[in-house]
Structure formats: structure tokens, C-alpha cells
């Protein structure tokens, strides 16, 4: 688990180094992602025209994000008209306080929760436990991570890094069950515990995949049916959703639901797709008596205020960019130390949690562009990483690096000086081993994982000149021989 005992940048380096050296863990992640890739390729191919679908999705999200005020208010008025309650939370504290206060006022004892990355974002479980409320995660992957005391590894596949035997050992240790290698049996163990949790809970908490302005409803997609039980059984329900999840019309889901399933898990459609429009209405047999939706800002409006990077709010959290990212595959999800891992996490976290502390994430990219290519809503992710790098450099220039580039520019503009300097470059290669790794080594952080580049003894310019001279020599001796004949 990432404890962030160190400043984020150092912790990231430590965790990334550790995971990159853990061959078993990387193999487990690779295997999980290989299964995902083949399923996604197969399902993606059944879209008549994936490119047009992507453009349409991007246009809808552009419309929604650029008119958030209008669409969110439309949602609020329709949702509250059916008896639902909407709370606008500007930050994590407001959202946590609202839920804790509600739970206290309603004498809640036990809470069941379905997957909500917004809950992770505001550290909700920890806050509820500190206040004495029992909280059980009902998504299988999240439940496993909760038992393990770890944050989710991936925001779609929370325990993708764990092998079956590790899960069996965990259940054996925490629940006292017999060890088993059968995925069905492992699922049944969790199911037995979780069924009890739904029945005991007075409050259910969920996230939400989409907010539909037109109908005043939220949409939740899931594969286990746990979110349905989390919403349907307890008498109070709270859905904690980021404000960017809004879409204008119900018909938009005809595109987004299959798209999310394809990009996220390689399915045609996710197992359960439910719409919730408020508390139980007269004549209805189930559903909560109270339904609260918390619209979470938590610095999303800071990102909205940036016209260059605003489209990062188009993200539908499918996780596809993580699945194709070579960095994620090697360092894993926990190394990021953030709620949202991978390429999109590296783009948005500096906006959500501060550029100075989180700029290093934008450096952890090969800029291969695989994330941008796979993103179903067409976010230009790798260029946003470059924007973050640029902004970080402008905000707090690295003095040493600035000096280096200034010296480079100075030399490049003075050919004679450049030639002279390149004559001395091999000296650097010869001297570097003497200081390598010591505090006197000016490039030690760079060379700790790379070889120091060796400058050739003869520069390209020298070699070219010699080559030309040799060519001329051959030509003139040919002419002389021809003249003699």
C-alpha cells in the first residue's frame, strides 16, 4: 500500500522501483491485461464505426462540460421534484461532513457501499470508520482490497494485481474460510458475507457513472448486481458523483453505455445498467425512503477554468488508458499514490491536488500516445501530460536544468564555440566514471537508471570532413592516372 510517508515524488520513485523489480506482480498484471485486450478488440470490432462513435461521444461530453451549470441545475430540479435531495459539495470535507451528519441524524449503524472512486477521493471510509460507523464494500474487488487494507490498484479492476491463491489466503486469514483455488468458491465466500451486509445496512452509498440532466436520474453500471442491492435495500441512499459525469439527454446513454463496457472491460454491455430517479415512489415495492445525491466539485471547476485542459473532464473512467499504458504495466497502480491512476490520473491529479506536489506523474510517461489512441472520448491525454510539464516548468523552473538549456542554446548559436566544445566532449565520458554516483556527479539521478552517453572520439563533422577529403583524393588520383595514360 502507498502510505505516502515520503513526499509524493519520492514515494512514487520508491514504489515504482519496487514494483518494477517485482516480476511476479508484473506478470499477474500483464496476464489480466492480456485477457482484457483480446476481449476489447473483439467487442470494439462490432461497432460499425468506432471512430464516428468516438467523435460523437466527444461532442456530447464537450457540450455537457461546457454547459455544466445548465445541465446540473436541470438534473437537480427534476431529481428534487420526485423527492430526492441534492447537495453541492465544493470539497472533500463538505461531502464527508454531509454524509456523517446525515448518518448521525438518522441513527445509522451500518453502511454498505458499492464502488465509488469519489469515495476514495474524499477518503470516505476512513472518515466513517473514525466516527464509529461500520462500512462494508460490496463490489468483490473493492471488498478484497478493503480486507487487505489497500487502496484499489486500478479504478476499474481494484484487485487485478492479486493472484487467486493470494485471495484465498486473505479470506482464510480474515474470514477463517478453507483455502480454495476455485474462483466460484471464492466468490461464494464473499457473497455470503455481503448478503448479510445488505440486510444489516441502514444506509447505502454509491457512486454514479452518468448524471442524466433531461430525466433527473443517475445511471450506475456494474457487473455484480451489488450496486442494485446497495441502492435498493437500505432505507437511505447517498450517491456521491463528480459534477463532470453529467450528460444532457437519456438518449446519450445509448452511445455511452456500450462504449463504456467495450473500452472498460471488453464487454458489449455491462451486466447491470440501472437508472435511479429518486426515493421510492408511492406504489413502488422497493428502493430507499431517502435518496441523496452529492454533486462533488473538489477542484473539478479548477480544471474547468483551464480552456486548454478542460476536456480532461470528458473522462468516463473506463480505465482503457491504464490498460494500454506501458508505464502502468510496469509500475502498477499503487505507485501513483493517487485515486485515479495511469495516464488520466497523471493529467488530472495535478489539477485536483496541486501541480507542485504531483507534477512528477506527468514525467512518468513515454509519450507513446497509446492512451490517446485508445480513449473512447478522444481526450488528447499525452499532450495534456506535456502541458502539465510545461506548466510545472513555468511555475517553478528547475534552476540547474534552465542553466543547462541556456548553455546549450548559447553553444548552438555559435558554431565555432560548438566545434571547440564537441572536441572536449570525450573528456566528459572519460571523467564521469570518477564521480559517478557520488554527490559530485551532476547527472546522477539521470544516470542511476541509464548509461552515461559516451561521446565518440571523432565527431561526425571530423568524420565527414575526412570522408570528403578521401573522396577528393580518390577522384584526383583517378584524374592523374587518366592523364598519364
Interacting residues toward ligand SF4 by CB under 6 A: 263, 315-321, 344, 374-377, 379, 381
Residue 346 contacts residue 336 (beta carbons within 8 Å) = yes
Q: What is the DSSP letter of 336?
A: G
Three-state secondary structure call for residue 182 = coil
Query: Shortest gap between Cβ of 228 and ligand SF4 (angstroms)?
Result: 24
Q: Where are the alpha helices (DSSP H) in 206-306?
A: 226-232, 253-265, 300-304
Residue closer to ligand SF4, measured from CB, 102 or 348: 348
Cα(201)–Cα(134) distance, integer angstroms:
9
C-beta closer to ligand SF4: residue 54 or 360: 54
Minimum CB–partner distance for residue 25 and ligand SF4 (Å): 22
Nearest approach, Cβ of residue 222 and ligand SF4 (Å): 17
Measured between alpha carbons, how far is 402 from 474 in angstroms, rounded to an integer? Answer: 47
User: Closest separation between CB of residue 265 and ligand SF4, Å?
Assistant: 12
Q: Which is nearer to ligand SF4, 207 or 288 (CB)?
A: 207
Closest approach, Cβ 371 to ligand SF4, in A, equals 6
Nearer to ligand SF4, 207 or 216 (CB): 207
Geometric angle at alpha carbon 460, from 456 and 464, rounded to 5°: 140
Q: Residue 156: which residues within 8 A CB-CB, separation 6 or more?
A: 264, 265, 317, 318, 319, 322
Listed in order, strand segments (DSSP E) in 208-362 are 210-212, 217-222, 236-242, 246-247, 272-276, 290-296
Q: How many helices (H) and strands (E) does the chain have?
A: 24, 10
Contacts 24+ apart (CB under 8 A), 306-309: 306/351, 308/387, 309/347, 309/351, 309/384, 309/387
Minimum distance from CB of 439 to ligand SF4 (Å)? 40
Smallest gap from residue 339 Cβ to ligand SF4 (A) = 13
Nearest C-alpha neighbor of 237 from the set 294, 293, 291, 278: 291
Provide the minimum distance between the beta carbon of 438 and ligand SF4 in the complex, in angstroms, as a whole number: 42
Cβ atoms of residues 235 and 222 within 8 Å: no
Of 168 and 365, which CB lies nearer to ligand SF4 in the complex structure?
Answer: 365
CB of 346 to ligand SF4, least distance (A): 10
Q: What are phi and psi of 110, to 5 degrees?
A: -125, 145
Nearest to ligand SF4 of 288, 376 (CB atom) = 376
- For ligand SF4, give the closer residue by CB, 146 or 323: 323
**Angle CA 121–126–130, to nearest 5:** 145
Nearer to ligand SF4, 113 or 245 (CB): 245
- Rounded distance, CA 388 to CA 380, Å? 13
Q: Which is nearer to ligand SF4, 122 or 377 (CB)?
A: 377
Closest listed residue to residue 314, CA positions, set 292, 339, 338, 347: 347
Nearer to ligand SF4, 204 or 350 (CB): 350
Non-local CB neighbours of 439 within 8 Å, separated by 6+ positions: none
Containing 476, the helix (H) or strand (E) segment is: helix 460-484
Nearest distance, CB of residue 350 and ligand SF4, angstroms: 15
Q: Name which of 84 and 345 has its Cβ closer to ligand SF4.
A: 345
Q: Which is nearer to ligand SF4, 38 or 463 (CB)?
A: 38
- Give the list of residues 6+ apart from residue 131 with CB closer than 8 angstroms, or none: 100, 103, 104
Least CB distance to ligand SF4 at residue 321 (A): 3
Shortest Cβ 348–ligand SF4 spacing (Å): 9
Strand-by-strand arrangement of the 246-247 sheet: 246-247, 210-212, 217-222, 272-276
Amino acid at each position: 500500500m502507498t502510505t505516502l510517508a515520503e513526499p509524493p515524488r519520492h514515494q512514487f520513485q520508491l514504489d515504482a522501483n519496487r514494483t518494477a523489480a517485482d516480476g511476479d506482480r508484473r506478470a499477474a498484471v500483464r496476464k489480466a491485461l492480456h485477457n482484457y485486450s483480446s476481449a476489447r478488440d473483439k467487442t470494439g470490432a462490432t461497432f460499425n464505426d468506432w471512430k464516428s462513435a468516438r467523435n460523437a461521444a466527444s461532442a456530447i461530453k464537450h457540450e455537457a462540460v461546457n454547459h455544466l451549470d445548465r445541465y446540473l441545475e436541470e438534473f437537480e430540479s427534476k431529481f428534487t421534484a420526485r423527492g430526492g435531495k441534492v447537495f453541492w459539495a465544493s470539497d472533500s470535507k463538505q461531502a464527508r461532513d454531509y454524509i456523517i451528519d446525515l448518518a448521525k441524524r438518522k441513527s445509522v449503524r451500518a453502511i454498505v457501499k458499492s464502488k465509488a472512486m469519489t469515495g476514495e477521493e474524499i477518503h470516505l471510509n476512513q472518515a466513517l470508520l473514525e466516527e464509529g460507523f461500520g462500512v462494508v464494500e460490496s463490489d468483490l474487488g473493492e471488498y478484497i482490497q478493503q480486507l487487505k487494507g489497500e487502496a484499489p490498484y486500478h479504478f476499474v479492476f481494484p484487485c487485478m494485481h492479486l493472484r487467486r491463491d493470494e485471495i484465498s489466503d486473505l479470506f482464510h486469514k480474515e474470514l477463517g474460510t478453507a483455502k480454495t483455488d476455485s474462483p466460484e468458491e471464492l466468490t461464494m465466500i464473499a457473497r455470503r458475507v455481503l448478503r448479510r451486509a445488505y440486510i444489516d445496512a441502514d444506509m447505502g452509498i454509491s457512486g454514479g457513472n452518468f448524471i442524466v440532466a433531461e430525466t433527473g436520474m443517475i445511471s450506475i453500471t456494474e457487473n455484480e448486481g451489488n450496486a442494485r442491492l446497495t441502492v435498493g435495500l437500505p432505507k437511505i441512499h447517498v450517491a456521491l458523483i463528480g459534477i463532470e459525469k453529467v450528460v444532457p439527454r437519456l438518449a446519450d446513454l445509448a452511445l455511452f453505455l456500450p462504449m463504456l463496457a467495450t473500452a472498460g472491460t471488453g464487454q458489449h454491455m455491462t451486466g447491470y445498467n440501472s437508472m435511479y430517479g429518486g426515493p421510492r415512489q408511492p406504489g413502488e415495492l422497493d428502493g430507499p425512503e431517502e435518496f441523496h445525491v452529492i454533486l462533488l466539485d473538489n477542484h473539478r471547476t479548477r480544471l474547468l477554468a483551464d480552456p486548454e485542459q478542460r476536456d480532461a473532464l470528458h473522462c468516463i473512467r473506463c480505465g482503457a488508458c491504464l490498460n494500454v499504458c506501458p508505464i502502468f504495466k510496469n509500475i502498477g497502480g499503487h505507485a501513483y499514490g493517487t485515486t485515479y491512476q495511469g495516464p488520466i490520473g497523471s493529467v488530472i491529479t495535478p489539477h485536483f491536488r496541486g501541480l507542485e506536489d504531483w507534477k512528477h506523474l506527468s514525467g512518468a510517461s513515454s509519450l507513446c500516445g497509446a492512451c490517446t489512441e485508445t480513449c473512447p472520448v478522444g481526450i488528447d491525454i499525452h499532450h495534456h501530460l506535456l502541458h502539465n510539464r510545461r506548466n510545472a516548468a513555468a511555475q517553478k523552473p528547475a534552476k540547474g536544468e534552465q542553466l543547462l538549456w541556456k548553455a546549450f542554446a548559447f553553444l548552438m548559436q555559435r558554431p565555432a564555440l560548438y566545434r571547440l566544445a564537441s572536441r572536449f566532449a570525450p573528456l566528459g565520458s572519460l571523467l564521469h566514471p570518477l564521480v559517478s554516483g557520488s554527490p559530485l556527479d551532476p547527472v546522477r539521478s539521470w544516470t542511476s537508471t541509464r548509461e552515461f552517453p559516451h561521446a565518440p572520439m571523432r565527431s561526425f563533422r571530423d568524420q565527414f570532413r575526412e570522408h570528403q577529403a578521401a573522396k577528393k583524393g580518390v577522384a584526383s588520383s583517378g584524374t592523374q592516372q587518366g592523364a598519364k595514360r
